[in-house]
Amino acid sequence: MLFVGRTTMVLATAAAVGFASMRLNILDLLVFVGALWGALVFPVIASFYWNKVTNKAFTTSVLLALALFLPVRFEWLSMDGAVGYLVDVVSVVGVGVIAGLMAFGFFGLRVARVVAVVAALIAAPFSIGFLHDYAVLSASLVAYAVSTVVCWAMSVNSKEDFDFDVISHRVGDFDPVEDHSDGDPDNDQTLTKDRA
């Protein structure tokens, strides 16, 4: 855990220096942060309510979502023809993901599934064929869709159920509170006075 934390800090610092040297405008950075949030949102929410999410699925889905967000957002690929239609279809799935997550928060999983499918079906005729012209919107929707589908696909057949108590067991308590009372009420009062 310590190694991962240190490595993450080095990578985050390198990324910050890289972004600062590229002199991107604030809107581009905000869109990028929004996409990062979008790539993280489904796996994070799913991990709270669905114990099948694996570490591998979580990490892979976030990295793949970001890897697909960047070329769509900055138009590194030509969006003509089949690529544009593919981006539109994946974006429609992203519309369903957003609607489903909002419904899930209020009404639960069963309603969320119905809302997601209905929202995607309603958005499809209005989106497919031209949504890729709006790079910021379509890239964000692609990030939402990819993180959701990949995380679900990699986790659905998992044999291991994740439990947050596992983290507590593996990591341990770094700041334990020592119990000096030994069942003696006079000793408890002495400790309380010492702390005051």
Give the torsion sign (CA, 133, 85, 126, 31).
negative
**Quick one: tokens of 27?**
């809107």
pLDDT of residue 53: 82
Read off the pTM.
0.71
Contact status, residue 138 vs residue 87, Cβ threshold 8 Å: yes
Sorted by where each begins, the domain ranges of the chain are 26-160
Distance CA 140, CA 42 (A): 13
Among 106, 107, 136, 99, smallest CA distance to 25 is for: 136
* Full pLDDT tens readout for the chain, 196 residues: 778 888 989 988 988 888 778 777 777 777 777 777 878 877 887 777 777 888 888 889 989 998 998 888 888 888 888 899 999 999 999 999 989 988 987 898 899 899 999 999 999 999 998 888 888 889 889 999 999 889 888 888 877 776 667 666 766 666 666 666 555 555 555 544 444 4
pLDDT of residue 191: 47
- Average pLDDT of the chain? 81
- Angle of helix 55-73 relative to helix 26-49, nearest 10 degrees? 150
Cα angle vertex 38, ends 122, 107, to 5°? 55
